[in-house]
Amino acid sequence: MTVELFDNLPDGSKVDKIELRSGNSQCSILTYGATIQYLNFGFSDVSIVVGADHIAPYLEELRYFGASIGPVSNRIAGGKFVLANKIYHLTKNEEGRHCLHSGSNGAHNRLWKILDKTRNAVRLWTRFADAEDGFPGERDVTASFVLEDGVLGITYWAITDQPTPISLTSHAYFNLSADETIIDHLLEVKAQHYLPVNAEKIPTGEVSVVFDTPYDFSELRQISARPYDHNFCLQKTSGELSLAARLVAPERNGGIELWTTEPGVQVYTYTHGKQAEKKDGFSHKIVPYCSIALEPQKWPDAINQRNFNSPVIVPGETYEHQIRFKAFTDRDD
């Protein structure tokens, strides 16, 4: 394990990079955004997450890439919610209409403090002030990254001094090969239902079956060039660490499994980017479908949807979300 200067933010603040190693596996975490900057389990010649070797892209086109997201991931409709008969107005950072990934001061856009570190693990911490981006409560959030050979384990904890919604996740963008896109990757999601969304990507409140729709990844199949930005409702007991998804490289020489304790996973295919060629310092060429994000989470906009499980925690309660990214080298494992 090493800690070294990664880069400086525009205000001069230093961003550190923590390099973790275990067997054939290597992972780099940034203190900015508690971000996964590099990940390789040994079955690929390149990092399997999209990243860059300097900070500027993480402030611009790679915003959210590899970052920890919270205190509430995904969208909150209208940038507001009601809790204990009080209306909370949030930062509307998506088209001036909705709150995305907790606004401008979310977990992705701040320096985290290193609490402790070992050869293959690091714990980071940050505090959100009461009313920051409109959310209630002073909230302490801790993120743990533990690398074992072939497994990256992430755990998020949060406590609060007021009732408040919490749904923390990791927003790594994956490309398991040296190909420009992930359209030939194979995906399986352990879900029989998904959440339809409106034109502004807000859940309608319906819970629909995936069968005979483009959202049916109940068996391993090719992703293809289709935009996805939907929550899949996992077949699981809430709080149980279980398999949520599998992503397989097109050469089928390896892949990853996503395990989570949360009830949903957002499948998001990146459809932006206009790089004519890979820029210096980037792990991949940033073009449409260069990567896919698999974001385990509580269901989006749950704070406004009465038929979704509540994301609210209260003082004295500790929120915990466990995530595992596990490598495998045989698609039938």
- Which residues have a Cβ under 8 Å from the Cβ of 226 and sit 6 or more positions away? 214, 269
Asked if 245 and 324 count as a contact pair (C-beta separation under 8 A), the reply is no
Q: Catalytic residue at 321?
A: no
Q: Nearest CA to 180 among 50, 44, 10, 280? A: 50
d(CA 120, CA 152): 10
d(CA 50, CA 43): 16
Angle at 99 between CA 98 and CA 102, to 5 degrees: 175
Name the region of 74 (left: φ>0; alpha: ψ -120 to 50; beta: rest): left
d(CA 115, CA 106): 19
Q: Which residues of 228-261 are buried (b: 16+ CB within 10 A; e: fewer)?
A: bbbbbbbebeeeeeebbbbbbbbeeebbbbbbbb
Q: Catalytic residue at 19?
A: no
Instruction: Write the single-letter amino acid at 323.
Output: I
State phi, psi for 78 to the nearest 5 degrees. 70, 5
- Which residues have a Cβ under 8 Å from the Cβ of 85 and sit 6 or more positions away? none
**Could you say which of 171, 230, 284, 321 is catalytic?**
171
- Which residues have a Cβ under 8 Å from the Cβ of 11 and sit 6 or more positions away? none
Q: Report, as residue numbers or ranges, the catalytic residues.
A: 171, 295
